[in-house]
């Protein structure tokens, strides 16, 4: 009796008139936007300019899509070039089929071209974008859910994926949702890279190498669960061997890079102002404007206080002048009074002298 399972969509495309809206394509597009958004924030936090990540992504994304498709077509050539298959289907990318190894390799070539045109070191740019790429993969894996593809062995677990399509050799039933396992694993990889980058100040491509190594570790055991057709070598699927080799190369790069170029790049983009960003990657222009405003306010207050001081000094000088004038008036009054008293005494003396003569 069925109690719980993950249902598959009845179809992976909706038609808006003549325009098809495919769930697989939407997942890829949303993943790219998330990667660029997060990469831009991390790039700004490292001292770069806003928009540089998007400018370089214009080169990296198309190259990555082409590389991912080429890897898938080459490693699964029997799906397109064997007897009874139509080779034109190799160009139908909307039907699914992108190899992450080819996407990363060719995307790096496109990113190198973009970084070279901007004078930006590729390892620093890759470090900023690493967790965003992991999140883009986490979102993109849901495109496989829309297409009912890349599932694992049969299971009766409550989170089993219910496959209903019978096209292209599918057998309806309940299977391990390997798309979901990989999606959750990629989210964990993104969190790990962000934490390690903050904790250990990873630089010179080591954050990107950590993302590659962590992803390969998860891809190895998830790949072993899948039941879709694939090439095998020494009892293991080709992508399992690829995961092992790439994992070892990523770990080797981390070790050698840490010895040869320890620490983190001091300058990631020539000409970018170190004071234009804060720790979280957000621009601090508003803080600068507020500081300028405060400075202007302080200057105006200082001028007002100086004006008040000068007014006080003028008032003080005015009062001192009035006091001096009043004192002068008092002195002149005293002199006049003394003069009057003297004249009165002289007149009295003359009268007394005249009286004595008459006598």
Q: What pLDDT, in 10s, does the model give residues 96-137?
A: 778 888 999 999 999 999 999 999 999 999 999 999 999 999
Tokens 């006598």 correspond to what residue?
A: 359
Distance CA 95, CA 113 (A): 29
* Three-state SS at 310: helix
Distance CA 123, CA 126 (A): 5
pLDDT in tens, 317-335: 555 556 555 555 555 555 5
Would you place residue 286 in the very low, low, confident or very high pLDDT band (cuts 50, 70, 90)? very low
Would you place residue 26 in the very low, low, confident or very high pLDDT band (cuts 50, 70, 90)? very high
Give the pLDDT score at 153: 94
Q: For residue 235, is pLDDT > 80?
A: yes
Q: For residue 61, is pLDDT > 90?
A: yes
Give the residue among 180, 182, 181, 179 at the shortest CA–CA distance from 149: 179
Q: For residue 87, is pLDDT > 50?
A: yes
Q: Positive or negative CA dihedral for 36, 40, 42, 47?
A: positive
How is residue 41 written in tokens? 């924030």
Least confident of 100-104, 166-170, 259-263: 166-170
* Three-state SS at 233: strand
Can you give the pTM of this predicted structure?
Answer: 0.74
Give the residue among 61, 39, 62, 40 at the shortest CA–CA distance from 51: 40
């Amino acid at each position: 009796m069925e109690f719980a399972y993950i249902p598959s969509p009845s179809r992976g495309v909706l038609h808006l008139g003549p325009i098809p809206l495919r769930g697989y394509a939407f997942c890829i597009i949303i993943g790219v936007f998330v990667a660029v958004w997060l990469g831009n924030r991390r790039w700004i936090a490292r001292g770069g300019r806003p928009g540089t990540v998007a400018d370089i992504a214009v080169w990296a994304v198309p190259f990555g899509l082409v590389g991912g498709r080429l890897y898938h077509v080459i490693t699964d050539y029997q799906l397109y070039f064997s007897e009874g298959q139509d080779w034109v289907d190799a160009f139908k990318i909307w039907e699914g089929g992108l190899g992450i190894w080819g996407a990363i390799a060719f995307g790096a070539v496109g990113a190198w071209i973009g970084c070279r045109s901007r004078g930006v070191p590729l390892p620093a740019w890759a470090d900023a974008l690493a967790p965003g790429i992991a999140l883009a993969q986490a979102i993109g894996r849901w495109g496989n859910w829309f297409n009912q593809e890349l599932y694992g062995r049969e299971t009766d677990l409550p989170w089993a994926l219910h496959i209903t399509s019978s096209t292209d050799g599918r057998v309806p039933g309940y299977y391990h949702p390997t798309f979901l396992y990989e999606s959750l694993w990629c989210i964990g990889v993104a969190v790990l890279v962000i934490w390690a980058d903050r904790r250990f100040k990873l630089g010179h491509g080591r954050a990107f190498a950590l993302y590659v190594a962590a992803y390969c570790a998860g891809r190895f055991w998830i790949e072993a669960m899948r039941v879709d057709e694939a090439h095998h070598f020494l009892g293991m699927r080709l992508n399992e061997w690829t995961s092992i080799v790439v994992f070892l190369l990523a770990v080797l790069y981390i070790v050698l890079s840490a010895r040869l170029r320890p620490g983190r790049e001091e300058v990631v983009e020539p000409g970018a102002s170190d004071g234009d960003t804060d720790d979280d990657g957000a621009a601090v222009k508003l803080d600068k404007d507020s500081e300028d405003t405060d400075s202007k306010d302080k200057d105006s207050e200082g001028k007002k206080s100086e004006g008040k001081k000068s007014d006080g000094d003028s008032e003080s000088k005015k009062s001192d002048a009035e006091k001096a004038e009043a004192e002068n008036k008092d002195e002149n009054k005293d002199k006049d009074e003394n003069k009057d008293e003297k004249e009165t005494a002289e007149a009295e003396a003359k009268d007394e002298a005249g009286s004595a003569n008459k006598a």
